Amino acid sequence: MTLFERLAEALHADRPVALVTRIDGPQAGAKLLVFDDDVSGDLGTPGLNVAGAGEARALLAVGETATRSFGEDGEPVGVEVRLFIAAYAPKPVMYVFGAIDFSRAMARIGKYLGYQVTVIDARPVFATKQRIPDADEIVVAWPDEFLAKAPVDTRTALIVLTHDVKFDIPLLRVALRTEAGYIGAMGSRRTHANRIEELRAHGVGDDDLARISAPIGLDIGARTPEETAISIAAEIIALREARRGGRLSEGTLPVHNARTPASLP
């Protein structure tokens, strides 16, 4: 099996894998394919293989692709060899709580953005594949109980569409204990004011309350489930990039954030 075939197999199976390539010098093109528990290929020296594999695993953990410089035998301070490390991490996860019309649109745009989408609702009648065809998975469970056991990392998006205090409060309390990168909760300003009051009564502090995006989404005047899903999706991207949202034509910042870690000198 060639390296490419092994890479393709892993990508099809959504298995974490990184491809390390020497990008300059006479050995440009030399490759190392790095899995959690396995390595194949050769970058030229044993030290370089060890250093490349270590860096590849570190980047895999955060889902980042970057170029790194090393010495001829992988010395960390060297600059002789540049390695491009393409990390193919599993898709980030989006959990959508509540199986309503908005969830159908949210699941669809979540998939479109590259998320693995799970929809959770305690009501078996509503939590069906027919109602939400785009979800990767539909789970009948109490939202807070589900989330307490679900894997969450900094790339995870939690979309709370239940907008019912009896589900929202226990769920948001669990959500705030995770490191999820996005926590959004649907509901009017008044609904959210009530939620804040309840959460404070449970001892939730201001820093945690500020993590909740509510009312959910960017201010684009969205009305339909589809429009609302777009406004939520845009807010997820804007928060990840530390942007305010709004019109580029009225701003002065560069259109794309600089990706310094990946830049070449």
Partner 1 sequence: MIDVLDTIERWRAEGQRVAVATVVGVENSAPRDPGAVLAVSERGAVAGSVSGGCVESAVYEEAQDAIATGRPRLVSYGISDADAISVGLTCGGTIHVFVERLDW
* Residues near partner 1 (CB under 8 A): 2-4, 7-8, 11-12, 19, 21, 23-24, 28-29, 31, 41, 65-67, 84, 86, 88, 254-256, 258-259, 262-264
> Least separation, in Å, of the C-beta of 218 and partner 1?
22
Q: Is 203 left (phi over 0), alpha (psi -120 to 50) or beta?
A: left
- Shorter beta-carbon distance to partner 1: residue 61 or 165: 61
Residue pair 49/32 in contact (Cβ under 8 Å)? The answer is yes
> Least separation, in Å, of the C-beta of 85 and partner 1?
9
Dihedral sign of CA atoms 216, 218, 223, 229 in order: negative
- Shorter beta-carbon distance to partner 1: residue 26 or 221: 26
> Least separation, in Å, of the C-beta of 79 and partner 1?
14
Query: Which distant-in-sequence residues (6+ apart) come within 8 Å of 51 by Cβ?
Result: 70, 74, 75, 76
Q: Max alpha carbon distance in the chain (Å)?
A: 66
Radius of gyration of the chain from Cα atoms?
22
Q: Which amino acid is at 182?
A: Y
Locate 23 and state its tokens. 């990008």
> Least separation, in Å, of the C-beta of 260 and partner 1?
9
Tokens 């890479």 correspond to: 7
- Shorter beta-carbon distance to partner 1: residue 133 or 261: 261
> Least separation, in Å, of the C-beta of 255 and partner 1?
5
Q: Which amino acid is at 186?
A: M
- Shorter beta-carbon distance to partner 1: residue 7 or 158: 7
- Shorter beta-carbon distance to partner 1: residue 59 or 105: 59
